[in-house]
Amino acid sequence: MDQDSHCTAERELLEAVSRITTFSTASPSDEEQNQPKAEISCQVRKENPEKDDLQDSNTSLSPNSSMTTKELQEYWRNEKRQCRQVKLLFEIPSTRIVEHHLSKYVMYKIIILQTGSFDSNKSVIERRYSDFEKLHRNLLEEFSEEMEDVTFPKKTLTGNFTEEIINERKLAFKDYLRLLYSMKYIRRSKKFIDFLTRPELQEAYGCLRGGQYTKALEILLEVIGLQERLTRGNPVSIVPTLCAIVVCHKDLENPASAFEYGEKALSCLCVHTSHRYYTPLLETMITLAYELGKDFLSFQEKLEEWKAKKDPVRVFTLKELAVREYVQ
């Protein structure tokens, strides 16, 4: 092939690629152009059923957002993760009988896994019959219609500690949790999420208040993964836990780890600057960035910007806020 023919062929190939790219990215069909935006939105939801679990549009970013490039990248990474179809699987592989003073009860070991891919970060918790019973009562109060056909294993007067009864309840509670999780409004409810996370969080914050930062951190790191899975689409709800982790790392003199979790917490608050944790978190991030030799001016600018918009009020430190969580 001579040089002119080669150039012509190359030019035609480039033009064809350009036409394909332009058509696929910038030229919607006449039908799409005439389709109402509301219908398109519904169509997207049908193609991505888990999109319903995201927050309403009030959490979306505007094109004029003042976020930094790094914050934007983290935001869209979170958005992409949230758009994936994520489901949880509940298993109850074992139990143990606890005898404490005059009481005796069975603890059920619950393993919570994420389906769809290999999950190396499974969550393990323990609950007793009375915990399940309390959850059921609470859900009946709020979701009487949804819970109408949900059965709950009844107590027996005798034989509660026999192998047969325990095995029956293991299967019953596993099916019970799966059924609850299958109902959107219940799995997103505070009562359901509290059942799966609150006892561990109460223990962790108790350790934090007592200065047992290593133990508190160990529990918080176990819980945060489960919280993230349960509250997809509502990242603000995990900010207190992330900030408690920052406090623990900071007091254990792990500034790099504290800074890492602080960045995660700030990314959750990028469009929620009125949140009670926002200002104390910025102040902590300025201190950590200065200590680590990182850029702290961006945090300082955000803090000054926030103060200029708000009336001066007494603001707690990040640690003061953390120790107030889960105080009974």
Same domain, 184 and 204: no
Provide the pLDDT for residue 308: 86
Which tokens sit at 221? 């790191």
Beta-carbon contacts of residue 328 (< 8 Å; ≥ 6 apart): 202
Same domain, 276 and 308: yes
Which tokens sit at 132? 């399940």
Distances (CA, A) of 200 to 64, 111, 168, 286: 40, 14, 26, 30
Same domain, 98 and 215: no
For residue 67, the SS3 value is coil
Same domain, 128 and 153: yes
Same domain, 118 and 144: yes
Provide the pLDDT for residue 277: 96
Same domain, 214 and 271: yes
Distance of CA 268 to the CA centre of its chain: 10
In a domain, 167, yes or no: yes
In a domain, 162, yes or no: yes
In a domain, 110, yes or no: yes
Q: What is the DSSP string of 273-316?
A: TTSTTHHHHHHHHHHHHHHHT---HHHHHHHHHHHHHS------
Provide the pLDDT for residue 15: 55
In a domain, 37, yes or no: no
User: CA-based Rg of the chain, rounded to a whole angstrom?
Assistant: 26
Q: Average pLDDT for consecutive 10-residue bins of the chain (328 residues)?
A: 49 47 40 38 40 43 55 60 67 94 92 75 93 97 93 83 93 96 94 97 97 98 94 92 98 98 96 93 97 96 88 82 89
Show which of 132, 164, 191 is a domain's final residue. Answer: 191
Element (H, E) at 93: strand 88-100
Same domain, 219 and 300: yes
Report how many domains make up the chain: 2
Same domain, 219 and 297: yes
Same domain, 219 and 176: no
Show which of 191, 217, 242 is a domain's final residue. Answer: 191
- Residue 89, beta-bridge partner list: 113
Question: Residue 234, class by beta-carbon neighbours within 10 Å (0-12 exposed, 13-18 middle, 19+ buried)?
Answer: middle
In a domain, 170, yes or no: yes
Provide the pLDDT for residue 122: 87
Distance of CA 77 to the CA centre of its chain: 14
Q: What is the DSSP string of 145-196?
A: TTTTT---PPP-SS-TTSHHHHHHHHHHHHHHHHHHHHSHHHHTSHHHHHHH
Same domain, 241 and 296: yes
CATH number at residue 154: 3.30.1520.10
Q: Quick check: 269 and 236 in contact, CB under 8 A?
A: yes
Same domain, 270 and 237: yes
Show which of 191, 221, 237 is a domain's final residue. Answer: 191
Q: Residue 176's domain spans which residues? A: 88-191
CATH number at residue 216: 1.25.40.10
Same domain, 212 and 316: yes
In a domain, 57, yes or no: no
Which tokens sit at 48? 């991505």
